[in-house]
Amino acid sequence: MIAALVAVLILTALLAAGRYFSEKVINIPSIPVEETYRLEVENGKLDPQVWEALPRREVRLRSPFGYEMFGIFIPLEAARGTVVIVHGVTYSLYGSFKYLDLFRRRGWNVLLYDHRAHGRSGGRFKTYGFFEKHDLKVWVDWARAQGGAVGLHGESYGAATILQALPLLGEVAFVVSDCAFSDLSALLAHRLRVDFGLPPFPLLGLASLVTRLRAGFFFGQVRPERGPVGSRVPILFVHGEADDFTPAWMARRLYDAYAGPKALYLAPGAGHGDSFWSNPAEYDRRVGEFLRFTGL
């Protein structure tokens, strides 16, 4: 009797821990959209006068999963096409402002949008590209309808979404993948060790099972390194060498796994999502060099 009770208590505790870690992954709170704007302005990363002067219009599209998605389109006269810029987890499209000039100076329209469960878009759970890739296809189809080629730039969660979406998107001109993770299970195992001092077994498997029951996917189904398999789109992989959230070896793994046209930029001393701000001129040079490599 005592042994059975102990077993029940242990199982209950493990399931509770699985529920807790699942919640930390799929329901991590997003920063309110107004706060993201304020933070970008206060940190000198978004100039309100420049933003207000841009010729822009709001775009609202319907996700395949039923919720409304919000974006902002910034057109350019006689553009060669549109670059869709995809932001990172917990943030909003305002975090992508810093990349606008990279592409507008080179003749591209820019489309920014909020992921599901972020900013002004609907949706509940964050799925790290598993469902977001289908939302991205809707945005790419819309961008393609504006005329010209379509390019993609993603940061972190956004980059991982792009890589997973490539089989769905048809022909795109290029991808800039900035600090993507290569494999969600590997990333979460790393975070368990670093943040909690815990081994991945058995918590990761339990959290993955709970996530499947709650949000419809297993962690093992989210593997950006597998997304581009068979693709020939040129990809620039960018990562901060000092990234202590998503380790830089994941960029090398993504780069090594991809058989298509590619380039790799490891930004010296840059942390997670900081490759641009650590050296804006060098980031600009690398992107320009990469676009010339693609013939754009």
Report strand pairing: 109-113 vs 68-74: antiparallel
Name the superfamily (CATH) of residues 31-183+222-294.
Alpha/Beta hydrolase fold, catalytic domain (3.40.50.1820)
The two three-digit tokens of residue 272, written as one number? 């997670």
Query: Per residue in 6-29, pLDDT tens?
Result: 444 555 556 787 899 999 999 999
Strand arrangement, sheet containing 57-62? 57-62, 68-74, 109-113, 81-86, 149-155, 174-178, 235-240, 262-267
**Quick one: pLDDT at residue 8?**
47
**Quick one: pLDDT at residue 126?**
98
Q: What Cα–Cα distance (Å) separates residue 220 from each residue in 110, 207, 261?
A: 33, 11, 27
In sequence order, the 6+-apart residues with CB closer than 8 A to the CB of 218 are 208, 209, 211, 212
Query: Per residue in 51-101, pLDDT tens?
Result: 999 999 999 999 999 999 999 999 999 999 999 999 999 999 999 999 999
Phi, psi of 126 (to 5 degrees): -90, 125
Instruction: Look up the pTM and report it.
Output: 0.95
Q: Where are the domains of the chain?
A: 31-183+222-294
Count, residues in the chain: 296
**Quick one: pLDDT at residue 11?**
57
Q: Please, are residues 234 and 294 in contact by the beta-carbon 8 Å criterion?
A: yes
**Quick one: pLDDT at residue 269?**
97
**Quick one: pLDDT at residue 247?**
97
How far is residue 292's CA from residue 296's CA, in Å, rounded to a whole number? 5
**Quick one: pLDDT at residue 1?**
66
Walk along the chain (296 residues) and give the pLDDT tens digit of each residue.
665 554 445 555 567 878 999 999 999 999 999 999 999 999 999 999 999 999 999 999 999 999 999 999 999 999 999 999 999 999 999 999 999 999 999 999 999 999 999 999 999 999 999 999 999 999 999 999 999 999 999 999 999 999 999 999 999 999 999 999 999 999 999 999 999 999 999 999 999 999 999 999 999 999 999 999 889 999 999 999 999 999 999 999 999 999 999 999 999 999 999 999 999 999 999 999 999 988 88
Give me the helix-helix angle, 2-26 and 203-215, nearest 10°: 60
Cα 8 versus chain centre, distance = 39
For residue 25, the SS3 value is helix
Q: Please, are residues 108 and 76 in contact by the beta-carbon 8 Å criterion?
A: yes
How far is residue 198's CA from residue 188's CA, in Å, rounded to a whole number? 11
Q: What percent of the chain has pLDDT over 70?
A: 95
**Quick one: pLDDT at residue 18?**
85
